[in-house]
Structure 1
Amino acid sequence: MTTVTTLQPGPVIDETARLLTEHYVFPETAGQIADLLRRRYAEGAYAVDGAEELASLVTADLQSVNGDRHLSLQYHADEIPEKRGAAVLESIRRDFDTSLGGVPRVELLDGGIAVLVLAPMLFPLEWAAEPVSAALSLASRAGAMILDLRANRGGDPDTVALVCSHLLDKRTHLNSMFWRDGERTEQSWSQPHVPGSRFGGSKPVYVLTSSHTFSAAEELAYDLQQLGRAVVVGERTRGGAHPRDGWTVHPHLEASIPVGRAINPVSGTNWEGTGVLPDIPCPAEDALERAHTLARARLAD
């Protein structure tokens, strides 16, 4: 149920600036952006009555310094919980329930090639482990696999690792995360055992991308590409490599702040700002047909 809550931009800006300074993965940039927000507020740039309009204005300023697309002030029509990170979990639960757990389509194409659509997100592992593993296990007998990430807007790095685990034969270092909190690095590895049947590390894999593919979906494409495990087909992705957390700063507003950055063990960098560059560039709407043709040719050889 939507409620009407009085908007006072000042406290929202102050709290967002404070959270930036304390948690943003790039401390020097955090100071610059916090100063910008305070200056813009003093100039009257945020003198609006609606929370949705304020979110749009503040997000534009948050992203104006270094183009970090995970850095935003998010508007929620319904009142959101105060608990850290709870707003996003609450907002995506319905998507999980109406998308078969994030795998809305599994299909076998001509030539024994399986297509798995992973959308609209790679949901938290504690939710997604069962449906994602079931879909991958079902497709494991195919001669080749196409992972369709064209409509995937991100999600959980642990779910990325689960998918990769089904497509590799041995435990493999996938990615590392440098966290601002404690200045520590945390490694992500594929798992030596998976639920159900494993597709394995030798049969062809193709990953479909679009300009909408974002965040953890980009990590999945990037990890498999850097390992030489998959061919990426489609469009350059959006370019967001910083894991984020969320803080409620108003009953309808959540400050989304990146708290870490990805470091790929093969490239030594990530896809932030550049996106994942496809191996086979083509319009997103043509990517499935192109990948299917490539897979059939590969299996014929």
Structure 2
Amino acid sequence: MTTPTQLRSAPVIEETARLLTEHYVFPDTAERLAGLLRERLTEGAYDVDSAEELGRLVTADLQSVNGDRHLRLKYHADPVPAEQGAAALAAMRRDFDASLGGVPRVESLDGGVAVVELAPALFPLEWAAEPLGAALALAAPARALIVDLRGSLGGDPDTVAFVCGHLLDARTHLNTMHWRDGDRCEQSWSPAHVPGPRFGGTKPLYVLTSGRTFSAAEELSYDLQQLGRAVVVGERTGGGAHPREGWTVHPHLEATVPVGRAVNPVSGTNWEGTGVEPDIACAAADALDRAHALALARLTD
């Protein structure tokens, strides 16, 4: 007999399965996952009393095949608004304003070493270009630079390219996105020119990471590491390389489905599931001191 809980869960599972098969960047995996969700529904695995618990169980199943951390049934304590995109944009804008445009810290350390912290996200470039350009121009004369991404949870690939433009000397191929929609590819390049002075592509550069560093912030770390431009110091990052979109499937549940995959032109792969492995591994709390010491040692060589 079908229970009332199953009646509430079944439409969520069916809609999530449909979204997977239509949009997930890996079609074969999407079919496997859709089948898994329907099988688990039939078994009664989703006979739970709360949307939060359903989200947790389904997310575990979604990530059980290939470990894609952008693939989730995300629980929202407050009802997901009909205009979800507008609400998310308003929340993002509040974070932008509260973090001085995503650059909460610019500091000069001993020995001519500068620190630029980018957090909590690499915000849309149309917002972030001015504060980012100002911060990076301020740090440009430094003898060495530390870019702190330990608290950066993601953001805009165009902003990644903009930051890279300040840290390289020439226009450089950074990444290629392969999209499910239309089976198309889109290359990302650093800009040939940036507003104001640039730090450039030869002085010592260090990037700080933590286990919370995710998505676009991981791309910034990975791109610079693969190009041999930066030394990554800290912890292995979260491992989310696939851009995603979200659909409301219940008043409190959002199905987030990756619709593309990144391919780095140097490695031929990305950081999905594995994270960005630091060149110098240490606790995130110790990463700034470690990078500063490394910079000073290199400057005195």
Fold similarity call, TM over 0.5 = yes
Write the mapping of 1:98-117 to structure 2, written as runs, cut at 5 A: 98-117=98-117
- Residue 247 of structure 1 contacts residue 254 of structure 1 at CA under 8 Å; is this kept in 2? yes
* TM-score, length-scaled by structure 2: 0.93
Q: What amino acid is the match of 1:72?
A: R
How big is the shift at 1:84? Answer: 7.2
- Residue 87 of structure 1 contacts residue 248 of structure 1 at CA under 8 Å; is this kept in 2? no
Residue 8 of structure 1: SS of its match in structure 2? helix
Report Cα offsets for 1:23-72 as digits up to 9, x if no partner.
00000100111111112222222223322222112111111111100100
| 1:193 matched residue in structure 2 | 193
Return the alpha-carbon distance in structure 1 between the equivalents of residues 128 and 78 of structure 2. 25
Change (3 A) 1:252 1:195: farther
Unaligned runs of at least 5 residues, structure 2:
1-6
Return the alpha-carbon distance in structure 1 between the equivalents of residues 169 and 10 of structure 2. 54
Return the alpha-carbon distance in structure 2 between the equivalents of residues 79 and 97 of structure 1. 25
| 1:284 matched residue in structure 2 | 284
Residue 181 of structure 2: SS of its match in structure 1? coil
Residue 192 of structure 2: SS of its match in structure 1? coil
Return the alpha-carbon distance in structure 1 between the equivalents of residues 14 and 83 of structure 2. 19
| 1:3 matched residue in structure 2 | none
Write the mapping of 1:34-53 to structure 2, written as runs, cut at 5 A: 34-53=34-53
Return the alpha-carbon distance in structure 2 between the equivalents of residues 144 and 29 of structure 1. 44
Q: Does 1:137 align with 2:137?
A: yes
| 1:211 matched residue in structure 2 | 211
- Residue 80 of structure 1 contacts residue 248 of structure 1 at CA under 8 Å; is this kept in 2? yes
Change (3 A) 1:189 1:84: farther
- Residue 76 of structure 1 contacts residue 253 of structure 1 at CA under 8 Å; is this kept in 2? yes
Return the alpha-carbon distance in structure 1 between the equivalents of residues 87 and 150 of structure 2. 25
Write the mapping of 1:161-180 to structure 2, written as runs, cut at 5 A: 161-180=161-180
| 2:94 matched residue in structure 1 | 94
| 1:273 matched residue in structure 2 | 273
Q: What amino acid is the match of 1:187?
A: Q
Q: What amino acid is the match of 2:160?
A: V
Residue 207 of structure 1: SS of its match in structure 2? strand
Unaligned runs of at least 5 residues, structure 1:
1-6
Q: What amino acid is the match of 1:24?
A: Y
| 1:9 matched residue in structure 2 | 9
- Residue 244 of structure 1 contacts residue 256 of structure 1 at CA under 8 Å; is this kept in 2? yes
The Cα RMSD (Å) is: 1.7
Return the alpha-carbon distance in structure 1 between the equivalents of residues 207 and 182 of structure 2. 35
Return the alpha-carbon distance in structure 2 between the equivalents of residues 8 and 157 of structure 1. 38
| 2:30 matched residue in structure 1 | 30
Write the mapping of 1:139-154 to structure 2, written as runs, cut at 5 A: 139-154=139-154
Return the alpha-carbon distance in structure 2 between the equivalents of residues 177 and 266 of structure 1. 14
Q: What amino acid is the match of 1:44?
A: G
120-129 vs 252-261, greater mean Cα deviation: 120-129
Report Cα offsets for 1:145-168 as digits up to 9, x if no partner.
101111211111111111101111
How big is the shift at 1:251? Answer: 2.5
- Residue 52 of structure 1 contacts residue 75 of structure 1 at CA under 8 Å; is this kept in 2? yes
Write the mapping of 1:215-294 to structure 2, written as runs, cut at 5 A: 215-294=215-294
- Residue 241 of structure 1 contacts residue 272 of structure 1 at CA under 8 Å; is this kept in 2? yes
Q: What amino acid is the match of 2:25?
A: V
152-161 vs 38-47, greater mean Cα deviation: 38-47
Identity %: 76
How big is the shift at 1:297? Answer: 1.7
How big is the shift at 1:199? Answer: 1.3
| 1:63 matched residue in structure 2 | 63
| 1:4 matched residue in structure 2 | none
How big is the shift at 1:104? Answer: 1.2
How big is the shift at 1:295? Answer: 0.9
